[in-house]
Amino acid sequence: MAESFLSIIADTLLKNIISPSIKQTISLLNASDLKRLEETMTYIKAVLLDAEKLQQHNQTLRLSLTKLRGVFYDAEDVLDEFRCDALRKELKTVRFSSISIPFAYSLRMGHKIKKINERLETIATDFKRFNLGENVQILQNRPYVVQSHRDTHSLMTSKVLGRDQDKENIIDLLVQPRGVETMTVIPIVGIGGLGKTTLAQLVYNDERVSRSFPLKLWVCVSEFFDVARLLCEIIFNINHERSDGLPVNALLTLLQSLIKGKRFLLILDDVWNEDRVKWDELKAILMKLDYLHQSKIIVTTRSLAVASIMGTQSPFELEALSHEDSLSLLLKWAFNQGDEERYPNLFPIADEIVKKCKGVPLAVRTMGSLLYGKTRQRDWELIRDNHIWKLDQEETGILAALKLSYNHFPHHLKRCLAYLSLFPKDTLYDTDYVIQSWLANGFLPSPVQEDDVCCEDIGLQYFKDLRSKGFVQDVDDKVTFYKFKIHDLIHDLALSVSQEECLTIYQQTISASENVRHLAFAEHYPMRILQPFLKKLKGVRTLVNLTPWGQFREVEKTFLSACISYFKYLRLIELENCTLKALPKSICTLKHLKCLVLSSFHNLRRVPKSIHKLQSLLTLRLFNLPRFQVSDNLRRLINLRFLEISGDDMQLREVRPGNWSSLRFLYFYKCTTLKCLFEGMENLTSLKDLIFEYCYELESLSRSLKFLVKLEDIFIISCPKINLLMEPQGIEDQNLHLGLKNFIIRDAPSLRDLPRLLLEASASHLEFIEIRGCPELEALPNWFQNLISLQRLEIIDCPKLSRLFDGVEHLTSLKQLKIQQCPTMNDKYRPQTGADWSKISHIQEVHIEEQKIIKSS
């Protein structure tokens, strides 16, 4: 939906317009046009919140907002064109001044600015006719939120399926005694519609709970977390009298008199507040009540952040319903009792519909309600074959429940989530690549060269925010990045809010709005079909070719050439599993391109010689290209931040000063002729991650790595000839301080030594070491005892290792130790053979083969 992203785009545009670099460049063309643009944008930004609220009831205003989005994107493209041209001139060391701007360029760009101004002023005039701005909501530094007016209660209205065990688990937590003289807060966490409130109602109404807690209190907190209001609601639960308007001290005194001498259970349902200060204020008041340490509080929330702030123990993360319970629930809502037996032909379809709901009770109930009264097989098939977001239009349905969470997002998260809908359901996402995609499309702040928080770290925080709000699942921590999925229903939500922004073409449905900015093809089409379709889409920024792993697709060179011709503002191209032998040379004309992904091209030999013209390129993934020639001209892409290289012909031998000085991530994958690192590695002054995988000829690392003070991660995987013996440390290395945090080496049959120079110089930073599949490694060096920051050590499949290093007891930061497939060490360190881990008090968790020893802290 257009209104979801407009505020953040407006904010970004305005910042760019008034930024010194852009302002100086544009002002050289026409200062008055720049001033008009700034004034119009300032007005539009001020009234956007009003417009977004009122458009729900005004189609004309809704159309104006749709037009505004198109103008905003065109304005972004024009400003980015200035940035690209300024960068190009900077690289030529020619000052971008009035005398260096060709007249034709000045005329053309000035005309574009004027056209943007005219379109914006037309929309601004429309807005003024609606009297926008008279009631502008002042919400600085917080997102506009549609209030839900949701009010929950403690009464059970129908029989609940599939939550008996969850109920028992919560009741066990409630009735078990606690020795700690403080309050107990149990958070129940899950996405909207999963049944958190229903579970709380089940617990609240259980007889055992009523016997344990003479006083039971239920408060629906919702979005408005105000201490006085909540105290009034708690008091009303007890005496059924309103106490609104009393000061907090008076409310506390009244509450103390009402609760005196009673154990109580307090349910705080539907909590959204992530402000710790507000919770601490309420907590301080509750701590003054009698019997608090014997009383219990249950909090239901969609947010792990809320659970972390309020909970006194790990959150109870509510799981999905089983398939059987979901099917029973669907039939309960779709039929009157017993009627389902008359329609056995509908059962297989019901089974498939339930699979779409992924165990979310509200989704099942929503689908059941849509099916109620329908007994024709075709009606059921239509619901089975449609996206939920196209079916569910009810304010009490699953989409509305999820949309409520979405409305609480800050605007930057809305764009990031919507973008993920471009990929199929059940996609296994990788945070590294997702963040690079967000960066390419301008969803993250522009890269900075200072030591401030960089854009990739901000992107990772965005991911963690989505996770804390329950919008990602199946998260797998890979040390430096995460693999994750999004729930199918979250995917449906993302589709519903981005249906005109993101488009994936499946089967034979080739149609699209001209507003599409992110385009993916899941099927192959001949150019005669695609040509008129592509011509319509002038503003596409993302082009993705979706091919299942292991399958190869014939992507016509004419198709790619046509896309390059029509989509002048492409920021990202991702092509995987293609049979192309060469890229069109025209790809090097895409001056806005920031991310190029070429993966699993088994016939691709090289990129065009003029690849260096892509000076906006931040991400280049040349992944799994077995016949690829890594040419020397890649080093001229001086703004790269993320680089993957593969191939059988490594012609790149040297990195010179100024080349790749912004590079943070360097990954060598199946570089089959790579024996050692480039000359000049010390020039990669921003490098953070260095990874080698399946580099069969790699023999050693370079001592020049000691100059990379920002290097945090080294991974070496399946490099059979690698040995990490480095020259002895010289006098100049005695005061060397590096920042390495993670070191992993796996499947290295030639390894006999570990890189002391790099690891010991990182002693105050190194947190994780994994050594796996190193059959010739005979001993861990005693200098390991100097790694004072080490928190995790994993030693796996190293059969010649017989013991740990001396002084392991000195590593007071070490919390986890894993030893597996090391026969002699396993026998030596098992508790059954006399190993006493209690003497090393700081180690909390020890794994010996499959035996896990957890020590009490």
* Residue 202 and residue 238 in one domain: yes
**Residue closest to 26 by CA, chosen among 124, 96, 95, 119:** 96
The CA distance from 439 to 447, in Å, is 9
Q: Are 347 and 217 in contact (CB under 8 A)?
A: no
* Domain-embedded: residue 185: yes
CA neighbours closer than 13 Å in the CB half-sphere of residue 431: 25
Q: Which of 493, 522, 543 marks a domain boundary?
A: 493
* Residue 268 and residue 279 in one domain: yes
Mean pLDDT per 10-residue run, the chain (857 residues)? 64 77 59 80 86 79 87 89 76 49 68 88 87 52 44 77 93 79 89 92 94 93 90 93 90 92 92 93 90 89 93 93 94 91 93 90 88 91 76 66 82 90 89 96 74 83 91 91 90 83 76 85 76 85 79 70 92 89 92 94 89 94 92 90 93 85 95 90 94 95 90 96 75 82 96 91 95 94 93 95 87 91 85 69 82 66
* Domain-embedded: residue 42: yes
- Quick one: how far is CA 647 from the chain centroid? 30
Q: What is the DSSP string of 26-94?
A: HHTT-HHHHHHHHHHHHHHHHHHHHHHHHGGG-HHHHHHHHHHHHHHHHHHHHHHHHHHHHHHHHHTT-
Count of the separate structural domains present in the chain: 5
* Residue 422 and residue 401 in one domain: no
* Residue 119 and residue 213 in one domain: no
Q: Which of 434, 462, 493 marks a domain boundary?
A: 493
Q: What is the DSSP string of 525-567?
A: --HHHHHHHHHH-----EEEE---TT--B---HHHHHHHHHH-
* Residue 109 and residue 231 in one domain: no
pLDDT at res. 714:
97
pLDDT at res. 99:
42
* Residue 217 and residue 309 in one domain: yes
* Residue 846 and residue 771 in one domain: yes
* Domain-embedded: residue 647: no
**Residue closest to 411 by CA, chosen among 845, 1, 857, 840:** 1
* Domain-embedded: residue 639: no
Burial class (CB in 10 A: 0-12, 13-18, 19+), 616: buried
* Domain-embedded: residue 18: yes
CATH number for 295: 3.40.50.300
**Residue closest to 766 by CA, chosen among 733, 731, 722, 814:** 814
First and final C-alpha spacing in the chain? 51
Q: Which residues contact 378 (CB under 8 A, 6 or more apart)?
A: none
- Largest Cα span, the chain: 88
3-state class of 707 per DSSP? Answer: helix
Burial class (CB in 10 A: 0-12, 13-18, 19+), 378: exposed
* Domain-embedded: residue 636: no
Q: What is the DSSP string of 100-142?
A: GS-HHHHHHHHHHHHHHHHHHHHHHHHHHHTTTTTT----TTS
* Residue 306 and residue 223 in one domain: yes
pLDDT at res. 412:
85
pLDDT at res. 441:
94
- Quick one: how far is CA 445 from the chain centroid? 15
The CA distance from 848 to 245, in Å, is 62
* Residue 169 and residue 241 in one domain: yes
pLDDT at res. 98:
45
* Residue 194 and residue 308 in one domain: yes
CATH number for 432: 1.10.10
Residues spanned by the domain of 70: 5-129
Q: Are 678 and 655 in contact (CB under 8 A)?
A: yes
* Residue 404 and residue 429 in one domain: no
The CA distance from 408 to 390, in Å, is 22
* Domain-embedded: residue 749: no
**Strands (DSSP E) found in 648-735:** 649-650, 665-671, 689-693, 713-717
* Domain-embedded: residue 826: yes
Q: Which of 408, 443, 466 marks a domain boundary?
A: 408
Find the helix or strand (DSSP H, E) in which 239 lies: helix 227-239
- Exposure string over 13-41, b if 16+ CB within 10 A, otherwise e: bbebbeeeebeebbebbbeebbebbbebb
3-state class of 620 per DSSP? Answer: strand
* Residue 300 and residue 354 in one domain: no
The CA distance from 345 to 182, in Å, is 57
